[in-house]
Amino acid sequence: MTITHKPLGPLPSRRLGGLDVSALGFGAMVLSPGVYGEIDDARAERALLAAVDAGATLVDTSDGYGADGHNERLIGRTLRNRRDEVVIATKFGFRLPEGVEPHPFPVGYAFGELAVNADPKHVRGYAEASLRELGTDRIDLYYPHFPDPQVPLEDTVGAVAGLIEAGLVRHLGLSNVTAAQLRAAHAVHPVSAVQTEWSMWRPADGELLAAARELGVGIVAWSPLGAGFLTGTVGEVGEGDFRQHMPRFDAANHRANSDRFAPVRGIAAELGITPAQLALAWLLDQDPHVVPIPGSRTPAHIEENLAAAHIRISASVRDRIADVLAGTDVAGGTLL
Ligand SMILES: NC(=O)c1ccc[n+]([C@@H]2O[C@H](COP(=O)([O-])OP(=O)(O)OC[C@H]3O[C@@H](n4cnc5c(N)ncnc54)[C@H](OP(=O)(O)O)[C@@H]3O)[C@@H](O)[C@H]2O)c1
């Protein structure tokens, strides 16, 4: 097999609950400054258009990506004339207008705490703000970004169900939840997709996957390239790059992790594909209802990544990767 940087025809599609999307989506977080280093809007627009041109139909954003709605605004502006080609997924709870009380919760990286507010009384306001920024009349898939520790998730979900009833939102998603939370929310309103971190260096929560499969809920895998690590191209991470707060990217941990993943990169080389393509093809092979959402600012990377939707993993490659991962302790903590 030769390395492919151009998709080989239309992307296959997958089903997330009641939604059909391309088997690989596009994670737009990278398009706002201060996440993976610098980026200007012209580059961000080119990257987003490259993803849609190459067949990605699921675009993932959040009201919390970029300062003051930057990411949603960029998507709205760039896809103004292509709205019907994409499923827009966004999340709420991180962009708190003045007067909305921040509810803190701890995360496992150096800047310590994040704050959300997913009180049902604010949810319609969040959705109206996102609709304005996105320049659209409906959000296709709407997630509370994180469960709010001070608000029962069922109450938050009930507010989203009201937005679906009102026609502002088409489908309910959940992000960063447990299996028990998924079950409780699904009893209030059917959930189309659950978003969770899942990649070769971050095993998925088995109970969550089992619950999603049982309930017919699709799985959206975030950071499917291990925030870039699994591409084998990340060197030292510097200022303006949030990975400097992730222990897995400390110089010593990063070196150790690179050594540990060398056999995976070796398998990719043997197959004539890139490590990024193997990471994505491996995820697609794990479950017929998983849709990874890799992010990138670089059209060549985006085309390379989307081409992975056409790569089939053989049983022997699956087994060899499972053996490598079983013996691979990742150095450094995880975000959540
Ligand atoms: N629900 C949540 O809490 C949550 C949390 C985190 C992320 N997410 C979602 O998941 C999406 C993806 O996650 P992510 O952006 O954190 O991580 P990711 O997709 O695993 O990795 C992104 C990084 O990989 C690099 N990259 C991508 N393709 C590459 C290739 N073929 N070769 C070399 N480098 C490549 C990008 O750099 P270049 O720009 O240089 O290509 C970027 O630095 C986000 O955009 C967001 O939508 C959700």
Give the count of domains, the chain.
Answer: 1
DSSP string, 3-31: ---S--SSPPEEEETTEEEESS-EE-GGG
Whether 10 is in a domain gets the answer no
Give residue 187 CA to ligand 1 midpoint distance, Å: 32
pLDDT tens-digit series, residues 167-183: 999 999 999 999 999 99
Per-residue pLDDT at 335: 56
Residue nearest ligand 1's atom 43 by CA: 228
pLDDT band at residue 1 under the 50/70/90 scheme: very low
Give residue 189 CA to ligand 1 midpoint distance, Å: 30
CA torsion angle 76 80 84 89 (round to 10)? -10
The residues facing 22 across adjacent strands are 13
Whether 210 is in a domain gets the answer yes
Whether 182 is in a domain gets the answer yes
Percent of the chain whose pLDDT exceeds 90: 81
Whether 333 is in a domain gets the answer no
User: In this structure, what CATH number is given to the domain that contains residue 263?
Assistant: 3.20.20.100
pLDDT tens-digit series, residues 219-263: 999 999 999 999 998 877 877 788 888 888 888 889 989 999 999
47 CA: nearest ligand 1 atom: 39
pLDDT band at residue 36 under the 50/70/90 scheme: confident
As a whole number of angstroms, the distance between CA 179 and CA 172 comes to 16
Whether 8 is in a domain gets the answer no
List ligand 1's pocket residues with C-beta within 6 A.
Answer: 27-30, 36, 60, 175-176, 195, 222-228, 231, 233, 276, 293-298, 301, 304-305
Q: Yes or no: say if 62 and 145 are a contact pair by the CB < 8 Å rule.
A: yes
Residue nearest ligand 1's atom 36 by CA: 296
Give residue 28 CA to ligand 1 midpoint distance, Å: 8
Catalytically active residues are: 65
Least confident of 28-32, 115-119, 242-246, 280-284: 242-246
Give residue 80 CA to ligand 1 midpoint distance, Å: 23
199 CA: nearest ligand 1 atom: 20
Range of 155's domain?
A: 21-326
For the chain, the farthest-separated pair of C-alpha atoms sits apart, in whole angstroms, at 57
Whether 112 is in a domain gets the answer yes
Whether 4 is in a domain gets the answer no
User: How does the average pLDDT of the chain come out, rounded?
Assistant: 93
Q: Yes or no: say if 219 and 290 are a contact pair by the CB < 8 Å rule.
A: yes
Whether 14 is in a domain gets the answer no
